Amino acid sequence: MSDPHIPTRGPVPPTASPRRPRIPLVWLVPVVALAIAGFLAWRSFSEEGKLVTLTFETANGLTAGVTQVRHKSVALGTVRDIRLSQDMSHVIVHVRMARDATPILTDHAQFWVVRPRLSAGYVQGLETLVSGAYIDVDPGPPGGKAQTSFKGLEAPPSIRSDEPGHTYILTADRVGGIGPGSPVLYRDVNVGEVLSYDVDGDDKPAVLHVFVRAPFDQYVHTNSRFWKAAGVTINYGAQGLHLELESLQAALSGGLTFDTPREALSAPAAGDNATFTLFADHEQAIESGYRLRVPLLAYFQSSVAGLGPGSPVDLFGLDIGRVTAVTPQIAPDRPQVQVAIEIEPERAFPDAATSWRDPVQVLQRLVAGGLRAELSTRNFITGQEAVSLEFVPGAAAATIGREGDAIIVPSQPGGAAGLVDAVSAVAAQLSQVPFGQIAGNLNQLLANANQTLGSPDMRTAIRSLSATLQDLQKLVRQTNSGLTPALNRLPAISEQLQQAMTHANNLLAGAGSSYGTNSDFHRDLEQLMEQASDAARSVRMLADFLNRHPEALVRGRASESRP
């Protein structure tokens, strides 16, 4: 029931709501894609760096849109396109670098293509067999000028700018088998490598640039010595055949090694681009440490085959120098060969720095003591000769001379030539022996002896001697048959005499008790016993003598003094 006080309303009409435009959801897709594309474009533009132009001899292994530029295995850019130069002498590669790589694009940077490389000294780039070739970059030291055009290297650089160490310069007459990449060894440890070498003219030495890594560069002092590492060394000496393999890499591609003498370790460490001499071998490097060198001359009038510059000079078997020149001097009156040698007294005389201040005086004293230069054969198979300084006992008096700066020392034949001369001298003496006359005299002596032995007087004497020997044999047989029974009875006689002496002693003892020791009978009996004892002793001595000297029965007893 409704309240009469509340007015009655009619039906309320519906209220009309405003219309909203409807956007199809399908339009959201291109909007989002456009936003993403814009973001990627902005990001690519913001991260994109400079466009770099590289030139190489060949594009082997490079692919546009694929090949990357890397540094320490981090991608810094991608190759955009590759084209030939107008003269077709090289290729031009455009690389879009990342913005982060902009600071390294200076004139100090270096680019090269990393490919598989195999050489006698090293193997590189094997990983590119799987991943493909790429372009590597070395930024170089900081502080360079900005640059976007580079000439690429055809081979990787030997050292990187961020590798600590020092570079040194070596000078040598010949490079030999050494080249870029050859190792530098220190006590058989690979501590560096050869960077490059330059040869400028015939009259200038070759220059090699080598790099030694840290911390081994601190072992290079100003007095260090560099020499070529042979790799394989074969020596044949008193200890037999000696084969030494220093380094396989050095044997394949050549190499260098260095060391510092103990007395030079106090010298300061060498700095960058310090210059050293490169010696041919270790022996020459050691010789360079000897400061005192004395030039000598020796003259020989025999063959010097096997002797030449570089042949050793020894004293008591120790090498103390080298032959510097061999010059024949052909003169009608005195043909000879001049051998110039250079000795290093410090090798044999520890105090040479002070004792050899006057080499002329020292050598004069040595020559007065018998010092002579002679040729000696080092190897009879190869015929290698050497000059030996020997002290000859009883050598004739000699003096030294001077010829320019060289000191002339007396010489004498030696070696194979000296042996030939000695044999020749013996042959000359033998040729003076009258062998023909000696043979004639010997034949005459034999003929006279044959005539004498065959004469009738000799035959008669021989027959007489034979008859005498037969008579002597008969006498010996008769003596043996006659004396043998007597000799055989001597031991029995001696035994019987001994028994008689025993009974006589018993009788003497009984007589002493009966007649007393002072009676005449007792004294006569003692005298009889002494005579019987002497007789028994004489029989024993006779039997013993005849047993030892039965010939005494024929010749009698020899007169000799006996004790």
Spans of all domains in the chain: 45-151, 165-287, 294-418, 457-555
Instruction: Give how far Cα 298 sits from Cα of 325, 352, 358, 375, 403, Å.
Output: 11, 22, 19, 10, 11
Q: What is the pLDDT of residue 416?
A: 52
CA angle 410, 413, 419 (to 5 degrees): 160
d(C-alpha 401, C-alpha 395), whole Å: 17
At residue 58, the 3 state secondary structure works out as: coil
The C-alpha atoms of residue 214 and residue 191 are separated, in whole angstroms, by 8
- Residue 556 sits at φ, ψ, to 5 deg, of 85, 175
Residue 389 near residue 373, CB atoms below 8 Å: yes
CA 529 vs CA 347, 353, 510, 533, 536: distances in Å: 95, 100, 14, 6, 10
Q: Is the peptide bond before 215 cis (omega within 30 degrees of 0)?
A: yes
**Which pLDDT score is estimated for 92?**
94
Q: Between vectors from CA 342 to CA 341 and to CA 343, what angle results, nearest 5°?
A: 120
Q: What is the rounded CA–CA span in Å between residue 389 and residue 369?
A: 12
Q: What is the DSSP letter of 86?
A: T
Give me the pLDDT at residue 1, please.
43
User: Which regions in the chain score pLDDT beneath 50?
Assistant: 1-2, 6, 237-239, 514-515, 560-563
Q: How many CB atoms lie within 10 A of CB 254?
A: 23
Task: Report CA Rg, the chain.
Answer: 58
- Three-state SS for 559? coil
The tokens for 89 are: 């002498």
Q: Is the dihedral of CA 374, 378, 383, 385 positive or negative?
A: negative
Question: What is the per-residue pLDDT for 515?
Answer: 46
Q: Are 185 and 247 in contact (CB under 8 A)?
A: yes
pLDDT score of 385:
85
Q: Is 8 helix (H, G, I), strand (E, B) or coil?
A: coil
Distance CA 243, CA 553 (A): 83
The confidence score (pLDDT) of residue 562 equals 44
Tell me the pairing of strands 165-172 and 274-279. Answer: parallel
Angstrom distance (rounded) from CA 548 to CA 555 = 14
CA distance 272 to 269: 10
Q: pLDDT tens digits, residue range 48-61?
A: 778 999 999 998 88
**For position 91, what pLDDT does the model report?**
93
Spell out the SS3 assignment of 160-202: CCCCCEEEEEEEECCCCCCCCCCEEEECCEEEEEEEEEECCCC
Any alpha helices (H) in 95-149, and if so which ranges? 128-131
Query: Which pLDDT score, from 0 to 100, does residue 542 have?
Result: 72
